[in-house]
């Protein structure tokens, strides 16, 4: 349908809100506590400007890049997100969309689809894992991802237990049993969420809250909160624990969630091949500076030793360009593609990737550059004190990246 196309990520969000039950939509947009970091992730991009050129622009522009050994058609990857109850096809639809646009998929170990199905849909799949359970359990999950053909590992560390999830976060059910469905029925029936209902009706199954990639031998797939409980009760890893985990995986190894330069250096020391500067989308320690503010200091510290990625607050192609100009190899998106999937399934995710691609291309044209690889900090207008250098030798610093 022609009217299914949308022109911006903001429009994808509007359609997602119109279509999704309110509790599901609020689960996507919620952040920790007051939502300071959530809002900062978005607003900080607006403080950066561009230094345009008006002549000498190449007729064609190259958006392709290579990330952790993977050739990508554009510098935007799919960030792993947990149980995707916005559409019954879940991570498989997202993986297909990413493959159709020539980019990589990140699959959460808390995802709703098995790693085997997701890798089959997109061979450029990175498997994400938390430090959760025993070492034997983690080894089993890694071995399963290897057998399935995952091309890399993402270790998420920017999520610690928070009891203060009061910024718009709804209560999430433990399972979609009859009582739960009855409680949520008015949300769907009285507010016209028929399309959402019909999507699941055709599968003859309600939204699934189990996490098959956390399954251990001889056991059934645990529910989300069973897996969450295991993670919550597992002591936080030390750097020696992470060194051990690195030794269990012989491919690309990304640590997600680093914002401090001292921890970036520790990641290099244990053999990480990539870092994603991230605040878990504003869903962890509220009051953490925006990821884009922390990015340049991390790049300056370790960017010649590991590939540096970034996620958090990306809503436009221009945001992608700003992150690349500050030194990121690529960005990862989360809420943006979930809104796209809620709006129009796999085609909606493809639509979001196309919107970002078009935005990157037009921004490069305005800068008169022929490739994303040509981007430099000189292409931006960076206000004094924009950056945050956390974990520096002399304490945390406010500085302007040059």
Listed range (57-66, 114-123, 222-231, 299-308) with the worst mean pLDDT: 222-231
How large a percentage of the chain has pLDDT more than 90?
Answer: 71
Q: Which of 67-76, 78-87, 284-293 has the lowest mean pLDDT?
A: 78-87
More confident residue, 222 or 41: 41
Give me the residues paired with residue 380 across strands.
50
b/e sequence 253-275, b meaning 16+ C-beta within 10 Å? bbbbbbbbbebbebbbebebbbb
- Residues classed as catalytic: 280
The secondary structure element, H or E, covering residue 70 is strand 70-72
Per CATH, the number for 2-391 is 3.20.20.70
pLDDT digits (tens, 9 = 90+) for 188-230: 555 545 465 566 556 656 566 789 999 999 899 988 778 888 9
Q: Are 75 and 320 in contact (CB under 8 A)?
A: yes
Structure tokens at 89: 């096809």
> Domain limits of the chain?
2-391
Q: Is the pLDDT of residue 322 over 50?
A: yes
Query: Which of 17-26, 90-99, 152-161, 263-272 comes out lowest in average pLDDT?
Result: 17-26
Question: pLDDT averaged over the chain?
Answer: 89
Q: Cβ(349)–Cβ(337) under 8 Å?
A: yes
In angstroms, what CA-CA distances link 155 with 130, 158, 226, 260? 6, 9, 20, 16
Residue at token pair 């796999």: 346
Least confident of 115-124, 184-193, 264-273, 281-290: 184-193
DSSP character for 127? E
């Amino acid at each position: 349908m022609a009217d299914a196309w949308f022109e911006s990520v903001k429009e994808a969000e509007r359609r997602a809100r119109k279509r999704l039950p309110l509790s599901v939509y609020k689960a996507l947009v919620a952040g920790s506590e007051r939502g300071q970091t959530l809002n900062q992730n978005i607003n900080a991009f607006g403080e950066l400007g561009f230094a345009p050129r008006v002549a000498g622009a190449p007729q064609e522009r190259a958006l392709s890049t290579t990330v952790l050994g993977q050739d990508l058609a554009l510098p935007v990857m799919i960030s792993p997100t947990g149980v995707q109850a916005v559409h019954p096809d879940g991570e498989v639809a997202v993986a297909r969309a990413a493959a159709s646009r020539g980019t990589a998929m990140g699959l959460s170990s808390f995802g709703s689809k098995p790693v085997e199905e997701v890798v089959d849909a997109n061979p450029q799949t990175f498997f994400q894992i938390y430090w959760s359970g025993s070492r034997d359990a983690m080894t089993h999950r890694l071995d399963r991802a290897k057998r399935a053909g995952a091309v890399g590992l993402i270790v998420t560390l920017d999520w610690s237990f928070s009891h203060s999830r009061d910024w718009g976060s709804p209560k999430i059910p433990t399972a979609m049993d009859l009582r739960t469905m009855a409680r949520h029925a008015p949300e769907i029936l009285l507010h016209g969420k028929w399309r959402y209902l019909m999507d699941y009706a055709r599968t003859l199954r309600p939204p699934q809250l189990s996490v098959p990639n956390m399954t251990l031998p001889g056991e059934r797939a645990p529910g989300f909160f069973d897996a969450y409980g295991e993670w919550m009760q597992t002591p936080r890893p030390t750097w020696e624990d992470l060194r051990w985990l690195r030794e269990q995986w012989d491919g690309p190894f990304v640590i997600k969630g680093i914002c401090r330069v001292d921890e970036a250096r520790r990641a290099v020391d244990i053999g990480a091949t990539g870092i994603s500067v991230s605040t878990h989308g504003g869903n962890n320690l509220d009051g953490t500076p925006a990821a884009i503010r922390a990015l340049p200091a991390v790049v300056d510290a370790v960017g010649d030793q590991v590939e540096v990625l970034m996620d958090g607050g990306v809503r436009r192609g221009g945001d992608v360009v700003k992150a690349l100009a500050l030194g990121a190899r690529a960005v990862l998106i989360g809420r943006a593609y979930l809104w796209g999937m809620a709006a129009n399934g796999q085609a909606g995710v493809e639509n979001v990737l196309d919107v970002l691609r078009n935005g990157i291309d037009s921004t490069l044209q305005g800068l008169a550059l022929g490739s994303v690889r040509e981007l430099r900090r000189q292409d931006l207008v960076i206000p004094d004190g924009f950056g945050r250098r956390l974990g520096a030798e002399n304490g945390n610093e406010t500085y302007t990246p040059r």
